[in-house]
Structure 1
Amino acid sequence: MSASLLGAWAALGFAIAVPAAGLLLVAFRRFGIRQRAYEDAPATHQGKTGTPTMGGVVFVVVLLAAGALARSALVPELIFLTVLCGGIGAIDDTLGIVHGHNRGLRARTKLLATALVAAIFLRAISAAPSLFPLDTIFHAGTVWLVVPHWLWLLLGILAITGTIHAVNLTDGLDGLATGTILPPLIVLALIAAWLPMPAAATAAAVGIGACAGFLLFNLHPAKLFMGDTGSLALGALLSGVAILTGEMLLLVLIGGVFVAEALSVMLQVAYFKATRGKRIFAMSPLHHHFEVSGWPETRVTSRFWLASLVCSLLGWAIVR
């Protein structure tokens, strides 16, 4: 698949995302679909209360619209994974809005639900071994790392659920998750185009365009938040493309910012319990630590974007 064709699909995603986000913004303001106060965030975030949320519906709309236009040009299983995980996020967002607080589904419920969707996705693509590099978790040049199918399934579920919830944790600052996911998604789109796997490359390119379009509304000061609807959908898309291209291990590197965010939470909780109240970070996830340490929100976001770009360039240097 040529770079110009990838660019065309990204442009289509952008062209659908911008008006869709604009329409959602108007509708959400009218019907009161807004962010509620979140007591675990820094005090500076209280000013974000009332910002329209659930903007991640844009990503689902863009993917479905592109799928309808392209038909066989996208991977149906990947659309299934992204849309259903976005749906789980939408339920979570809706519960928080209806109940008047920022708590929706229990973390365990979201984890089990996304793991179930991941398992269905993996079994579905396993039925078409000639189309995807099944059982491959990494490849670079002539090096292909292949594992037993049962282990591939297990690692796949861990990769999808881990990525989904890491992206969800990262979505705590204006534009942070949206901008951070762009470099790894671009790398995976290029890998898919090179293999060649045009359907996976097309889906990734459409996602890139959708993120770029949504970012216009999500930059500081954000007019629209993606909510769990968006973070779960984007995490599913990123991990799904990584699995389809046989690059599960590479995802750990190119998604290094998401890994760091998730690890900061796990380490904070474990250390807090082990020491009966002591903390490693001023606040977790990691982006809140820098905020509490005095960094302006825009500086944290730009530095995390830069870190994501560096991780993705390193990953591309390894596999190119």
Structure 2
Amino acid sequence: MKIALICILTSFIIGAVIGPILIPLLRTLKFGQLVRNDGPKRHFKKVGTPTMGGIIFILAMVGTLLIWSDLSPEVLLCGGMVLGFGLIGLLDDFIKVALKRPLGLRAREKILGQLLLSALLLYTGVEFFGRGTDLVVPLTGTKWELGFWYYVIGAILVVGTTNAVNLTDGLDGLAAGCSFFVYLGYLIICLLAVSRSPVLGINYLELSLFAAAMCGGCLAFLIFNRYPAKVFMGDTGSLALGGGIAALAILTKTELVLPVLGGIFVIEALSVILQVISFRLTGKRIFRMSPLHHHFELVGWRETKVVRVFWMFTILFVLLGLFLVTV
């Protein structure tokens, strides 16, 4: 537990130091945020705010693990997923802000990259760490052996998680704060797993250091991303955060608990899916705007209130997820 707290503090310090160096650089390079024309009018003042700020917590995580971890295979896999998904996001952000192509990477290009990383994560987990191809059903202890279908369901989970976190990144401090609590939940799960060893081939103490490093990085990023934000994480950060969370779910065998821990991410993604389905079938919208956080803005909530409420619900979801894991 002590080393995990040290990792949180180290990552926080590294991120806090990197921020004041990186943000002016991003501003000088004119890597500024674009804002949706159909979004809340108050967001127009955010145009030009530096983006790609996810580099802050990615570097904080890397630095912390280089200092405190043994760079075990588990840590390298999870860190690699953060870097891999972050690279996809970085390319997307670069195309948007530097090459002035508002849509960034084509959807099929982004999904293909995510599927390739998902396949690598799942194959490594099963073949090299002995994770198996079963899913553990919460509260029952029952295991569903899925065989080949585990790879299909796992890929959907990984890609879904990364994109759900991406959709949540729309307000100052929202995605970083929610991700902090989810990573904190996984830090606790990893520490509990040290004695239980859900997968015998995995060093869960090392895995807890990765979760702790991401916690500290998220906290450091909030120094600069809280309202009013000085920097946005961009797809660089949101996809990286989602990739790390998905990797922890795979290696802790908590795939069916992840939708609870990340309940806010699920709700945000569902709001977009339902909005699209409703509009295409009936021509009517369920929400004033999706993802859901924009709906609450348009009904009159202040941005800071939306973020606080979503953080509180994330805490409740994480506590519920921890209950499901520990019972």
**Band the TM-score falls in, shorter-chain normalisation:** over 0.9
- TM-score by length of structure 1 reads 0.94
**Alpha-carbon contact 2:65-2:209 (below 8 Å) kept:** no
Which of 287, 292, 301 pairs up with 1:286? 292
- The alpha carbon displacement at 1:213 in A equals 0.5
Distance 1:237 1:77 in 2: 9
Distance 1:151 1:8 in 2: 39
Which of 192, 195, 207 pairs up with 2:193? 195
The alignment status of 1:206 with 2:213, answered yes or no, reads yes
- The alpha carbon displacement at 1:292 in A equals 0.7
Specify the code of the residue in structure 2 equivalent to 1:318.
L
Specify the code of the residue in structure 1 equivalent to 2:30.
G
**Alpha-carbon contact 1:36-1:101 (below 8 Å) kept:** no
Show the counterpart of 2:103. 103
Show the counterpart of 2:22. 24
Which of 162, 182, 185 pairs up with 1:184? 182
Which consecutive unaligned segments of at least 5 residues does structure 1 have? none
- The alpha carbon displacement at 1:187 in A equals 1.3
Which of 36, 47, 52 pairs up with 1:38? 36
- The alpha carbon displacement at 1:142 in A equals 7.8
> Kindly, what percent of the aligned residue pairs are identical?
37
* Within-5 A mapping of 1:82-121: 82-100=82-100, 102-121=102-121
Which consecutive unaligned segments of at least 5 residues does structure 2 have? 195-203
- The alpha carbon displacement at 1:186 in A equals 1.1
Which of 134, 137, 154 pairs up with 2:135? 137
- 1:263 partner SS: helix
Show the counterpart of 2:224. 217
Distance 1:58 1:202 in 2: 18
The alignment status of 1:270 with 2:268, answered yes or no, reads no
The alignment status of 1:68 with 2:66, answered yes or no, reads yes
- 1:75 partner SS: helix
**Alpha-carbon contact 1:220-1:298 (below 8 Å) kept:** yes
Which of 9, 34, 38 pairs up with 1:11? 9
Show the counterpart of 1:254. 261
Post-superposition CA distance 1:57-90 (Å, at most 9, x none): 1232123223333343452111221101000000
Count of matched residue positions in the alignment of Structure 1 and Structure 2: 315
Specify the code of the residue in structure 2 equivalent to 1:109.
E
**Alpha-carbon contact 2:65-2:213 (below 8 Å) kept:** no
Which of 154, 157, 162 pairs up with 1:156? 154
**RMSD value over aligned CA atoms?**
1.7
Distance 1:211 1:166 in 2: 17
1:219 to 1:101, Cα distance in 2 relative to 1, 3 A: farther
Show the counterpart of 2:247. 240
- TM-score by length of structure 2 reads 0.92
